[in-house]
Structure 1
């Protein structure tokens, strides 16, 4: 993975980089897997009579059971304090908001991921992105990082490294690579170099 180079053109900024063949294949696989997870969640939405009548799409009203999907599709509202009456109000609010907005969120994540897949160089190599595509890459890479970080239990206290014989050691290396890829792209979008 090369750093991203921002090039100003008459049509707006362009972002250039290059991926090795194995990096492009890895990124394609990760993003495709994430799309599959999102589509599985979307297809598990119950049939809704309101949708049939109004055409307004609704999604699941309950949060995902899978921790990775919970990270990609978190609750909308978290109370700042525990209410003595319990958390029914927060749960009801989250249920309603999730049902109304989850389909749009899944669509946005899928569209960003698909733009990445459409613009990644097959077999690796040099490539160039328009600004909208670069934003889609930043979003899709962030989603993959969130999913992988959840699986690895990455948090403020690590893990920063895993023993080489740990079954997830290679996954942590991929997570760190995605972090660098995203950081350099964000810096390019901000017009900064590192």
Structure 2
């Protein structure tokens, strides 16, 4: 559980994590960062970007469902505004090409904060509010990735049969949900 402490150095958020929890969290964050890194490296070379210094990303949506969940389209064709599915795809491609590198950078930076602040062997955690925000983003990305892999949606029960092969993963998913909620509560004034 996270606690909020006010000190002369400012607000600090404190918790403790055991060695197993630290290993699981580090592994999950590292996996998500690996997926994002692969996506970033798959961006086509762009001569104009090389000349201007403005990076461009992929214009096609990710084929991997987990990466697609982490980097969703900017606009769905059923949101209105653009009636034609092709026009929506073109707009999403253009927006993706412009913004995906920055989005990936932000997600990688958040994950890196978690990796930099989680003691590898477990122990005390002390975060600034800015680091806590990064943690919230990174944990959210891990939960999105796990939720996609586990097929979690609004109809999924909170508990599954203990014999279900996904049961241990649901436990980790719920632990991350609890950790995220506890951190949000501690951040609230």
TM-score, length-normalised on structure 1?
Answer: 0.93
CA distance 1:54–1:67, shift in 2 (3 Å): same
| Equivalent residues, number | 188
TM-score, length-normalised on structure 2?
Answer: 0.95
Name 2:6's counterpart in structure 1: 8
- The Cα of 1:174 is off from its aligned counterpart by 0.5
- The Cα of 1:163 is off from its aligned counterpart by 2.0
- The Cα of 1:159 is off from its aligned counterpart by 3.5
- Secondary structure at 2:121 match in 1: coil
Name 2:115's counterpart in structure 1: 117
Alignment RMSD (CA, Å):
1.4
Cα separation, 1, equivalents of 2:154 and 2:4: 31
CA distance 1:170–1:49, shift in 2 (3 Å): same
**8 Å CA contact 1:61, 1:98 repeated in 2:** yes
**Unmatched 5+ stretches in structure 1:** none
Moved more, 127-136 or 73-82: 73-82
- Secondary structure at 1:13 match in 2: strand
Cα separation, 2, equivalents of 1:9 and 1:70: 41
Name 2:33's counterpart in structure 1: 35
1:151 aligns with 2:149: yes
1:133 aligns with 2:135: no
